[in-house]
Amino acid sequence: MLDVYRFIEDLDPAARARPMDDAGRVHRRFRDLRESLPPDRVRAALDGERWRSAVETGVIERLYDVSPGVTEAIVRHGLDADEARGLEQSVFDQISAHRHAEDVVVDAIEAGTALSASLVKELHAAVTGRQPVYVGTDGSRTCRPS
């Protein structure tokens, strides 16, 4: 089965109105931790979380399955981890693309870049640029339009 790309639908009004009750608490805790650690530990922790998000994005989207051990190795060492060498090339490429997308988002936030159609297109290109067709773990096949 081949599914052609579909545009992302807007959140329904109920989901959009739902408050993020603990966002302030989480932000304060993050700020306190960041201020208490040496800069090199902060950079290493943030880099690891970027790698974790890159791996878990594809798992959540059912693009691939990665074991917790491989995920933790990538969090610690990036795609240079010995465990990453055993990944299928398409999985390796997709994790790399997701990490690139993480970097696009973080760079935009750090630069104070406003959310725009151009930024969304850059993010989309980062994620899908090397992905002509992808088979999800559920057997679905998706391709992007020409």
Mean pLDDT in consecutive groups of 10 residues from the start of the chain, 146 residues: 64 74 80 89 89 90 90 94 92 91 89 88 80 70 64
Neighbours of 69 (CB within 10 A): 9
The alpha carbons of the chain give a radius of gyration, in whole angstroms, of: 17
Is the full-model pTM beyond 0.85? no
Neighbours of 142 (CB within 10 A): 18
DSSP-derived pairing of the beta strands 133-135 and 141-143: antiparallel
Beta bridge partners of 143: 4, 133
